[in-house]
């Protein structure tokens, strides 16, 4: 049974805000996991457990994208859609790529400035590790008008079957392949579809969970799988350790993040209004949600600079100190990134308003 449309979906704001904070935590934790991957298995598992709890984040972004892009009733030409894509994603990607490349040229002796090298790194997705998401979402945006057109004609059962088939063709083989790669065996390339199809499936899955009421038994299954998934991820990552962080089961295309993201979306959809969240908290969640893309793009730069500054004054030498350093780095990165985005918003808003004022003056002069 379809759910009634709303102009504003507050639980989606909350999920997007939580997800962007979780992404920051993922990138903060990664260096601490690498620190212990060889020397101390227990400490490695501890940080890995924290990492597993954030694995819903990237899948959730894809699912929320599916909700708002597929459900939209507005009709745009494909040219308009491409223009919007250029403005919202491609231009910001180009700008931050230049920033990160210049930063690496300044701070790393192994990187020297070269326009040719920059262009190669840009089209090969080799500027910064977290920008892979931008390349994926840009590809998806090119297809959204066609996906929306096809999905709108699907009934609930048909859409559920499509999601199930894509899950069987992407997430299941991707998970099995992690085991096969660990044991040096041939992967299931013949029956495995590209990771791109897994991202598409997240869009459909998010839209499905938003649009339709889920049966009570199905909710329970997802809740159980959502709780079990991070536990299994931590155990499997610890057992199948390779001497470096290869994160076999944290990948969005595997089954565990799928179950976690699904369970969390169902939980918030069904219970968000029962949480009694204050107005100030809702305002913060809305700010984080509406600026999540720019927070995502800039937080790694803030993280790397913050890490260098903190490690200049303090060098952790044991587990407790590393936990405190991890927490400090996370808080500092969040605060600086959010404040920076807030200031940029104010600056851009004033710039737009000034442009509108100048435009009105020009029109007035023309009329006179």
Q: CA-CA distance, 69 to 5, in Å (whole number)?
A: 13
Question: Are the beta carbons of 175 and 254 closer than 8 angstroms?
Answer: yes
Question: Are the beta carbons of 221 and 262 closer than 8 angstroms?
Answer: no
Count CB atoms within 10 A of the CB of residue 1. 6
Q: What is the pLDDT of residues 1-25, one digit of tens each?
A: 554 445 679 999 999 999 999 999 9
Count CB atoms within 10 A of the CB of residue 188. 13
Length of the chain: 368
If you ran DSSP here, which 8-state letter would residue 2 be given? Answer: B
Task: Say yes or no to pLDDT of 133 above 90.
Answer: yes
Question: Are the beta carbons of 301 and 103 closer than 8 angstroms?
Answer: yes
pTM for the whole structure: 0.91
Task: Say yes or no to pLDDT of 232 above 80.
Answer: yes
Task: Say yes or no to pLDDT of 171 above 80.
Answer: yes
| Residue 357: pLDDT band with limits 50, 70, 90 | low
Highest mean pLDDT among 70-84, 251-265, 349-363: 251-265
Q: Which residue has the tokens 């090969």?
A: 124
């Amino acid at each position: 049974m379809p759910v009634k449309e709303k102009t504003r979906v507050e639980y989606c704001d909350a999920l997007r805000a939580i997800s962007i904070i979780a992404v920051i935590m993922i990138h903060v934790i990664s260096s601490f996991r690498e620190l212990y991957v060889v020397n101390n298995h227990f400490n490695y598992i501890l940080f890995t457990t924290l990492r597993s709890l954030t694995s819903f984040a990237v899948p959730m972004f894809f699912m929320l994208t599916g909700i708002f892009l597929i459900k939209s009733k507005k009709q745009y030409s494909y040219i308009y859609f491409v223009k919007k894509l250029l403005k919202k994603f491609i231009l910001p990607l180009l700008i931050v790529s230049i920033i990160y490349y210049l930063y690496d040229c300044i701070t790393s002796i192994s990187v020297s400035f070269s326009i040719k090298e920059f262009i190669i790194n840009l089209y090969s997705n080799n500027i910064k590790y977290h920008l892979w998401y931008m390349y994926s979402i840009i590809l998806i945006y090119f297809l959204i008008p066609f996906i929306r057109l096809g999905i709108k004609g699907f009934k609930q059962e048909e859409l559920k079957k499509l999601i199930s088939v894509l899950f069987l063709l992407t997430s299941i083989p991707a998970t099995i392949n992690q085991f096969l790669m660990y044991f040096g065996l041939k992967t299931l390339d013949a029956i495995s579809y590209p990771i791109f199809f897994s991202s598409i499936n997240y869009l459909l899955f998010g839209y499905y969970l938003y649009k339709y009421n889920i049966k009570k038994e199905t909710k329970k299954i997802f809740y159980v799988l959502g709780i079990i998934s991070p536990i299994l991820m931590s155990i499997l990552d610890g057992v199948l350790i390779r001497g470096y962080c290869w994160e076999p089961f944290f990948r969005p295309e595997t089954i565990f993040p799928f179950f976690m993201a699904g369970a969390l979306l169902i939980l918030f959809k069904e219970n968000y209004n029962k949480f009694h969240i204050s107005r100030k908290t809702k305002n913060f969640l809305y700010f984080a949600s509406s600026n999540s893309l720019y927070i995502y793009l800039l937080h790694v730069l803030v993280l790397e600079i913050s890490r260098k500054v903190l490690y200049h004054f303090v060098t952790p030498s044991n587990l407790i100190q590393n936990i405190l350093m991890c927490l400090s780095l996370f808080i500092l990165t969040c605060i600086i990134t959010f404040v920076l985005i807030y200031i940029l918003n104010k600056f851009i808003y004033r710039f737009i308003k000034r442009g509108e004022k100048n435009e009105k003056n020009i029109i007035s002069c023309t009329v006179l």
